[in-house]
Amino acid sequence: MLYIPGNNPAMLQQGGVYGADSLLLDLEDAVAINQKDAARILVRNILKEIDFYEAEICVRVNHIDTPFGMEDLEEIVPLQPDAIRFPKTETPEELERLIEIIEKIEDKHNLPHDQMTLHVMIETALGVQNVFDIAKLSKRVDAITIGGQDLTADMNISGTKDGSGIDLARKMIVMAAKANKIDAIDTVFVDVNDDEGLRKETEYSKSIGFTGKAVINPRQIDIIHEVYQPTEEEIRKAYKIIRAFKKNKEAGIGVFSVDGKMVDAPVMARAAYVLELADIDYDSV
Amino acid sequence: MKNTIGREIPEKIDGIGKVDLFIGAWEKLKKGWMDEITIPPPNKAKMPHQCKSCMDLEKAIALTNPKNGMTVSFHHHLRNGDNILVKTIDILAKMGIKDITLASSSLNQSHDPLLKYLKDGTITKIWTSGLRGVLGKAVSNGLLEYPVVIHSHGGRVRAIHTGKIQVDLVIIAASAADEEGNATGSHGKSAFGSLGYAMIDAQYAKQVIVVTDNMVDFPCIPISISQNFVDYVVKVDSIGDASRIATGTTRITKSPLDLRIAKLAADVIEHSGFFTPGFSFQVGAGGASLAVAKFIREKMTRQGLKGSFLLGGVTSYIVDMLEEGLFRTVFDVQSFDAAVSSSILNNKNHIEIPASLYANPFNCGCLTNKLDVVVLGALEIDTDFNVNVITGSDGTIRGASGGHSDTASGANLTVVVCPSFRGRVAIVKKKIHTIVTPGETIDVLVTERGICVNPARPELEEKLIKAGLNIKKIEDLQKEVESIVGVEKEIEFTDKIVGVVEYRDGTIIDVIRQVKN
């Protein structure tokens, strides 16, 4: 997910060309207070005019308790981007309030309530504590993200390259997302010149269950894709498992082995997921 | 009258004469010999042990008997650090010489001080591969009576062979030379690398002066310019600004957009059918172009693939690929950064070549003809794949033909890399201001918004689609760009022709008209 400041027309108009799976058009932290109106108008117009190709579009609005949040929602919700990102979510109650506001705007414009989804951003210790209840509140919430910079500040700790200070938060967020069958997106890696550091952190994110990672520079996209895409060996193995599963299913066998290792339902599910990531149709196997 | 790519060109142009119209990229070359006569190089003689050394450049120039209407030539290997060209014209102007034809292999911003000589009639005609800065602007605004002739690097050699450019005096700046005039650019405090563009001038000019700030004991090795062509040798304090001559190591761009384009271009090359063991490759030194080399280098390393030769303008990045064993040889007609000079000096597989071997169309096979893949930039490209690398969006001259059309003509796969628009200016357009390289020699355009394959190459398109690349019609891309940046206001031109663009075979592919103020 590529972050693009909402007040940067050059970056906004080129957002779709870098191959990011999703774009976050930011009206919040990336935009200075005196640029908020300009950014809102620019993002509104860009959403109407620019083709972002296959990228999913998410707009990060300002919090509803700031002077800008309501205006952001009034302008952006009628355009129904793929998702709205709600920053600094701390309690289920405030999320409920947000959804109520969004749905009122949607009603006003005769828009359905089930098209645009919500990404909640956890950026405070209180948010981390409440993350499970936040994640399960509404079916409209389809992703949770962690805001590493703000969380570090809220915890009054210094950020480190290994992210040890926010490790627990990362894992709690992933757990809440998994429990609710929604995506978990990891925070940005801020050193845009440290490719190896980015790769290492992304590998860790993947290993603990994040389904994606945010980036602040398009140069970081390829590394994240490389880490998240299954290896040739993983694909080959998954292919073998699915084929064996289909064959055994016809014979009425539930548990079988491939290359000497037992395959049961969880292994099967993992193999199916690998094929999905590799863009291979399950039925074609 | 119109040439075969529809450009309106007068039958006769002042200062040029009757125009030989462009008839297609390879039409003139097909029969295997050329009707143009070859001008013989001058016959000269020196007495045994005759001294060639001169106290200063002024005295050396005086010995060549300069006269009004003479043609003076230079190379541009000193890049933006050159101070020999301007110094020479200063001297000639002081001698009262008028009506000079300036025939530098290219001109850049270090030559801006020439403006006053264009204004006072010291210089009245220019032949060059490129023109930029205040000179480009002044010429575009109609300062000169006769049009500038823009040629390619290969075309310049052809023009000298056939007598279109008849050089009376060449000044060859070298970073090392001996008393007989053997000279090189590969060592010395002002080292700049290859002297490839100066070799033809040395051979054909009526008078040859070698200028160096590093006189070495005889013999100066390697011999890039050999003594048998050299009339006089001058030692000066400095041939130019060393910091601008020996620019640092060329770095790969960090621009995400250029990197994106470069990555797509590398994917195109990988799946084109030409990315095979023994392939040959050329890239420019510019942002996206050089970045393609980075991705190709990674692919070659990953796949264990080895190429045969790298060609052209050479950067330290290209030298690294040679040293890693990814390619067997580098043929170097022009070096782009400081690190290249020592490679020419020390690596036997890094070979300095003359422009004639590099790209002259009128011989039995220049190296561009042997290229598999070349990656080129563009200022503009139209929906017929014709490319402009000479005039900017405001219609003024601000670029260089260079080896663009030479390499495009020769390579099996010519890939143009450029953004589809810059700022609010479209690069992919219905009609471009000036055509330098004909679309029939361009195979693929790679932009950040997609890849377009020349419809004349359906087999290539099929391969790239099969590889899962995002191929779109160039007409669709042009419309997409127009929907983002809008339709630009047409620039108004007068009827006066300020520039003539020669195709590499000497035919006229386009003309540049004066911008209306």
Per-residue pLDDT tens digits for B183-234:
999 999 999 999 999 999 999 999 999 999 999 999 999 999 999 999 999 9
For residue B303, count CB atoms less than 10 angstroms from its CB and return exposed for 0-12, middle for 13-18, buried for 19 or more.
exposed
Q: Tell me if A17 and B449 make a contact (CB, 8 A cut-off).
A: yes
Classify domain A2-228 at the CATH topology level.
Answer: TIM Barrel (3.20.20)
What is the per-residue pLDDT across B88-103, written as a single tens digit (0 to 9) for each? 999 999 999 999 999 9
Structure tokens at B408: 């495009």
Residue A67 preceded by cis peptide, ω within 30? no
Which residues from A are below 8 Å from B257, CB to CB? 14, 17, 218
Residue A12 has pLDDT above 90, yes or no: yes
For residues B290-299, average pLDDT: 95
What does the block give as tokens for B461?
């398109």
Distance from the Cα of B250 to chain A's closest Cα (Å) equals 18
DSSP three-state, residue B62 = helix
State mean pLDDT over A221-230: 93
Confidence (pLDDT) at B249: 64
CB contact under 8 A, A19 and B260: yes
- What angle (nearest 5°) sits at the alpha carbon of residue B262, between those of residues B259 and B264? 110
For residues B444 and B454, give the distance between their C-alpha atoms in angstroms, rounded to a whole number: 6
Q: Is the dihedral of CA B357, B358, B360, B366 positive or negative?
A: positive
Q: Residue ranges of the domains in chain A?
A: 2-228, 232-284
Quote the CA–CA distance of B448 and A17 in Å, as a whole number.
6
Q: What would the mean pLDDT of B393-417 be, rounded to a whole number?
A: 96
Q: How far is A11 from chain B (nearest CA, A)?
A: 10
Q: What CA–CA distance (Å, rounded) separates B208 from B237?
A: 20
Say what the ipTM of the complex is. 0.82
Decide: B330 and B172 in contact? Cβ < 8 Å. Answer: no
Residues of B in contact with A220 (CB under 8 A): none
CA-wise closest residue to B437 among B381, B395, B499: B381
For residue A104, what are its two tokens?
Answer: 């009122």
Name the pLDDT band for B248 (thresholds 50, 70, 90): low
C-alpha span between B501 and B128 (Å, rounded): 10
Query: Count of CB atoms within 10 A of residue B305's CB?
Result: 16
- Rounded to a whole number of angstroms, the distance from the CA of A249 to the nearest CA of chain B is 33
Work out the average pLDDT over B494-500: 97
Q: What is the pLDDT of residues A126-143, one digit of tens each?
A: 999 999 999 999 999 999
Residue A265's pLDDT is what?
82
pLDDT interval class at A154 (50, 70, 90):
very high
| Joined tokens for residue A141 | 């919430």
Q: Helix, strand, or coil here: B276?
A: coil
> Is the bond preceding residue B219 a cis peptide, omega within 30 degrees?
yes
Per-residue model confidence (pLDDT) at position B173: 98
Q: Is A67 helix (H, G, I), strand (E, B) or coil?
A: coil
What residue in A sits closest to B255 (Cα-Cα)?
Answer: A219
Contacts of B254 in chain A (CB under 8 A): 219
The count of C-alpha atoms lying within 13 angstroms of the C-alpha of B89, restricted to the half-sphere facing its C-beta, is 28
**Spatial contact of B482 and B453, defined as CB atoms under 8 Å apart:** no
Q: What is the mean pLDDT of chain B?
A: 95
Q: What is the mean pLDDT of residues B441-464?
A: 97
Backbone angles phi, psi at B64, to 5 degrees: -85, 5
Task: pLDDT band for A263, please (50, 70, 90 cuts).
Answer: confident
Please identify which residue in the block is written with the tokens 């070298």: B174
Say whether A218 and B263 touch across the interface (CB within 8 A). no
Candidates A10, A13, A218; nearest CB to B260 = A218
Residue of A nearest to B480 (CA): A51
Supply the DSSP symbol for B397: B
pLDDT band at A280 (very low <50, low <70, confident <90, very high): confident
pLDDT confidence of B461, banded at 50, 70, 90? very high
Q: How many other CB atoms are found less than 10 A from the CB of residue A172?
A: 18
**pLDDT at position B246, please?**
66
Residues of B in contact with A12 (CB under 8 A): none
Task: Please tell me which of the candidates A17, A49, A222 has its beta carbon nearest to residue B448.
Answer: A17
* pLDDT (0 to 100) of residue A267: 87
CA distance B283 to B295: 12
Alpha helices in B304-412 (DSSP H): 316-323, 338-346, 355-359, 404-410
% of chain B beyond a pLDDT of 90: 91
Q: Highest-confidence range of A6-15, A82-91, B335-344, B418-427, by mean pLDDT?
A: A82-91
Q: Which helix (H) or strand (E) holds B61?
A: helix B57-63
Give contacts of A222 with chain B, Cβ < 8 Å.
Answer: 263
DSSP structural state of residue B417: E
DSSP labels, A209-277: T-SEE-BSSGGGHHHHHHHHSPPHHHHHHHHHHHHHHHHHHHTT-SSEEETTEEE-HHHHHHHHHHHHH
Please report, rounded to a whole number, the percentage of residues in chain B having pLDDT higher than 70. 99
Report which secondary-structure segment, H or E, holds B266.
helix B256-270
Q: Which of helix, strand or coil describes residue A73?
A: helix
Cα–Cα nearest to B403, from B447, B353, B449: B353
Q: A129 in contact with B at a CB cutoff of 8 Å?
A: no
| Exposed / middle / buried, residue B37 (Cβ in 10 Å: 0-12, 13-18, 19+) | exposed
- Closest-CA residue to B512 (of B392, B375, B416): B392
The per-residue pLDDT for range B106-147, each reduced to its tens digit, is 999 999 999 999 999 999 999 999 999 999 999 999 999 999
**DSSP characters over B366-391:** -GGGG-SEEEE--SEEETT--EE-SB
- Chain B residues at the A interface, defined by Cβ less than 8 Å, are 254, 256-257, 259-260, 263, 423, 448-449, 480, 483-484
Residue B22: pLDDT band with limits 50, 70, 90: very high
Query: Exposed (0-12), middle (13-18) or buried (19+): which is A60, by Cβ within 10 Å?
Result: buried
Give the angle B164-B167-B170 at the CA atoms, nearest 5°: 145
Task: Tell me the mean pLDDT in the region A256-270.
Answer: 85
Please, what is the average pLDDT of chain A? Answer: 94
Return the amino acid letter for B278: G
Q: For residue range B328-382, list pLDDT tens digits in order.
A: 999 999 998 877 889 999 999 999 999 999 999 999 999 999 999 999 999 999 9
Start-end of H helices in B120-198:
133-140, 153-161
Q: What residue in B sits closest to A18 (Cα-Cα)?
A: B260
Query: How far is residue B429's CA from residue B379's CA, in Å, rounded to a whole number?
Result: 11
**Cβ neighbours of A17 in B, within 8 Å:** 257, 260, 448-449
Which one of A12, A13, A14 makes the best mutation probe of the B interface by having the most chain B beta carbons within 10 Å? A14
H helices of chain A, in order, are 9-13, 36-49, 69-76, 92-108, 125-129, 131-136, 148-154, 167-179, 195-208, 221-228, 232-250, 265-277
Rounded to whole angstroms, the Cα distance separating B102 from B413 reads 35
Asked if residue A259 has pLDDT above 90, the reply is: no
Residue labelled with tokens 């002002």:
B190
pLDDT confidence tier of residue B247, bands split at 50, 70 and 90: low
Q: How far apart are CA B85 and CA B109, in angstroms?
A: 12
How many whole angstroms separate alpha carbon A24 and alpha carbon A61? Answer: 10
Is residue A217 within 8 A of residue A193, CB to CB? The reply is no
> Is the CB of residue A13 less than 8 Å away from at least one CB of chain B?
yes
* Nearest residue to B199 (alpha-carbon basis) of B230, B178, B221: B230
- Chain A positions touching B259 (Cβ under 8 A) are 218-219
Q: Do A14 and B257 count as a contact with CB atoms less than 8 A apart?
A: yes
Residues of A in Cβ contact (< 8 Å) with B448: 14, 17-18
Chain B interface, best mutation among A17, A53, A216, A225, by max B CB count within 10 A: A17
Instruction: State the smallest CA–CA distance between residue A219 and chain B in angstroms.
Output: 5
Q: What is the pLDDT of residue A264?
A: 83
Convert the pLDDT of each residue in A60-77 to its tens digit. Answer: 999 999 999 999 999 999
Q: For A97-115, how does the pLDDT look when each residue is reduced to its tens digit (9 = 90+)?
A: 999 999 999 999 999 999 9
Residues of B in contact with A5 (CB under 8 A): none
Measured between beta carbons, which residues in chain A are less than 8 angstroms from residue B449? 17
**Whole-angstrom distance, CA of residue B358 vs CA of residue B365:** 9
The answer to whether the Cβ–Cβ distance between A219 and B254 falls below 8 Å is: yes
From the number of C-beta atoms within 10 Å of its C-beta (0-12, 13-18, 19+), residue B57 rates as buried
